[in-house]
A and B are shown apart, each in its own frame.
Chain A
Amino acid sequence: MSDSKNIIPTMAEMNAKGESPEILFWVGCAGSFDDRYKSVTKAFVKILNKVGISFAVLGQEESCTGDPARRAGNEFLFQMQAMSNIQVLDGYNVKKIVTACPHCFNTLKNEYPELGGNYEVIHHSTFLQQLIDEGKVKPADGNPFEGEKITYHDSCYLGRSNNVYEAPRRVLEALDVELVEMKRCKTNGLCCGAGGAQMFKDSEPGAKEINVERTEEAIDTGANIIASACPFCLTMLADGVKAKDKESEVKVFDLAELIAKAEDL
Chain B
Amino acid sequence: MVLAVASYLLARRYKFIKKGISLGKPLDRTDRSSERWRSMFLVAFGQKKMFKNPLPAFLHLFVYAGFLIINLEVLEFIIDGLAGTHRIFAPYLGGFYTVLINFFEFLAVAVLTACVVFLIRRNIIKVPRFHKPEMKKWPTLDANLILFTEIILMMAILKMNAADQVLQAKGAAHYTHTGTLFFSSFFMPFFENFEIGTLIIFERAFWWFHIVGILGFAVYVTYSKHLHIFLAFPNTYFANLNPMGKIANMDSVTNEVKLMLGMPVEGDAATPPAEVGRFGAKDVNDLSWKSLMDSFTCTECGRCTAECPANQTGKKLSPRAIMMATRDRVEDVLTNDKGLENGKSLLNSFISKEEINACTSCNACVEACPVLIDPLSIILELRRYVSMEESGSPAAWNSMFQNIETNFAPWKFAPTDRFNWADDLKN
Contacts and interface: CB of A to CB of B under 8 A. Distances in A.
A188 interface: yes
B362 A195 contact: yes
A41 interface: yes
Nearest to B416: A60
B425 A42 contact: yes
A6 B396 contact: no
Contact of B401 (A74, A160, A187, A193): A74
Contacts of B409: 29, 32-33, 63-64
B415 A60 contact: yes
Contacts of B364: 156, 160, 188-191
Contact of A66 (B245, B280, B363, B404): B404
Contacts of A189: 364
Contacts of B362: 156, 160, 191, 195-196
A68 B400 CA distance: 8
A240 B401 CA distance: 26
Interface stretch (B175-183, B195-203, B253-261): B253-261
B245 A64 contact: no
Given A110-B242, A191-B360, A204 B396 contact: no
A196 B315 contact: no
Given A196-B360, A210-B309, A213-B313, A74 B245 contact: no
Contacts of A115: 249, 254
Contacts of A210: 309-310, 312-313, 360
A62 B134 CA distance: 45
A204 to B, nearest CB: 4
Interface in A167-203: 187-191, 193-203
B426 A7 contact: yes
A76 B400 contact: no
A79 B257 contact: yes
A254 to B, nearest CB: 14
A33 B411 contact: yes
Contacts of A110: 242-243, 245-246
A8 B419 CA distance: 10
Interface size bracket, A side: 35 or more
Interface string A107-125: 0001100110000000000
A68 B360 contact: no
Interface in B396-420: 396-397, 400-401, 404-405, 408-411, 413, 415-419
B384 interface: yes
Interface string B256-298: 1110110100000000000000011000000000000000000
B385 A73 contact: yes
Contact of B404 (A77, A205, A207): A77
A129 B427 CA distance: 29
Interface residues of B, number: 71
B96 to A, nearest CB: 44
A99 interface: no
Interface string B324-367: 00000000000000000000000000000010011111111011
B221 interface: no
A195 B205 CA distance: 59
A79 B253 contact: yes
Nearest to A188: B307
A83 interface: yes
A18 B217 CA distance: 74
A196 B408 contact: no
Contacts of B360: 156, 191, 193-196, 198, 210
A109 B421 CA distance: 25
Interface in A1-57: 3-4, 6-8, 10, 27, 29, 31-33, 38, 41-42, 45-46, 57
B421 A72 contact: no
Contacts of B246: 106, 110-111, 161
A111 B243 CA distance: 10
**Which residue among A75, A189, A199 has the maximum number of chain B CB atoms within 10 Å of its CB?**
A75
B279 A75 contact: yes
Contact of B310 (A4, A188, A201, A204): A204
A51 B122 CA distance: 58
Given A45-B422, A59-B422, A201-B400, 6 more contacts: A32-B421, A68-B400, A72-B393, A81-B404, A156-B361, A210-B312
A188 B306 CA distance: 11
A106 B380 CA distance: 17
B404 A201 contact: no
B401 A77 contact: yes
A156 B363 contact: yes
A201 B397 contact: yes
Nearest to B387: A73
Contacts of B52: 188
